[in-house]
Amino acid sequence: MNQEQWAAVDHYITELLVSPDQVLEAALQTSAAAGLPPINVAPNQGKLLQLLATMQGAKNILEIGTLGGYSTIWLARALPPDGHLVTLEAEPLHASVAQKNISRAGLEKIVDLRLGPALATLKQLAAERREPFDFIFIDADKESYPDYFIWSLKLSRRGTCIIADNVVRNGAVIDPAHADPRVQGVRRFNELLAAEPRITATTVQTVGSKGYDGFTIAIVTADP
């Protein structure tokens, strides 16, 4: 089994089950044209996020790490017309590409894109004392996953679903001595998750067009 085969199967699944969509295609094309890295979720993973948010009946979604808005559009489309999605992005170029893609998708009233380091924005969101988020997608810098988890929990309620991307990293996650701080960030995130009594969680390994990685899926079981 190799990358070529994983990508071919992803292609097969996507052709069958993920409807072609000009707005999502345009989001990827404009992101590539602007030089953004191709580290968006795959189409079938975007659909997974959308399905999970729909199952959750989410009305308020938080996304940490917008890039060009690809996963943002998938998630925002799971929302009812009166729903809201807040997405956090530190890079002005990424945010500007994303804002155009969100507008092209007709989601500018639903999506609140906040430019700045996510940690600062998370503190601000907590200070705003808004209603808790129903669904949170963590996908920004891996070094900060432990902090993103702590803040996500603060911004949650009993029943909130927290998803984290890129938690397996080619299997690197099992190496306690790994030199990459991103791997150490994900390990620390896993340890916090494991030690947190208000969380029940699992991780699924994934292969596909984006290589070998994984998603953590967690539910908050008590009001934080």
In the complex, least distance from residue 45 CB atom to Mg ion, rounded to whole angstroms = 9
In the complex, least distance from residue 127 CB atom to ligand SAH, rounded to whole angstroms = 17
The set of residues, in sequence order, having a beta carbon less than 8 Å from that of 121 and lying 6+ positions away, is: 88, 114
Q: Is 63 in the site for ligand DHB (CB under 6 A)?
A: no
Report whether 119 contacts 144 (CB < 8 A). Answer: yes
Site string for ligand SAH, 115-144 (x = CB under 6 A): --xx--------------------xxx--x
Whole-angstrom Cα distance, residue 85 to residue 53? 11
Which of 83/136 has CB closer to ligand DHB? 136
Q: Is 166 in the site for ligand DHB (CB under 6 A)?
A: yes
Partner in contact with 211, chosen from Mg ion, ligand DHB, ligand SAH, none, beta carbon below 5 to 8 Å by kind:
none
User: Could you tell me which stretch among 89-97, 149-157, 168-176, 199-207 binds ligand SAH (CB under 6 A)?
Assistant: 89-97
Beta-bridge partner residues of 165: 215
Token pair for residue 118? 């996510």
In the complex, least distance from residue 85 CB atom to ligand SAH, rounded to whole angstroms = 12
Beta-bridge partner residues of 212: 207
Q: How far is it between the farthest Cα atoms of the chain?
A: 49
Strands 111-115 and 135-138: unpaired
Partner in contact with 125, chosen from Mg ion, ligand DHB, ligand SAH, none, beta carbon below 5 to 8 Å by kind:
none
The tokens 């000009």 sit on which residue? 22
Which residues are near ligand DHB by CB under 6 A? 39, 139, 165-166
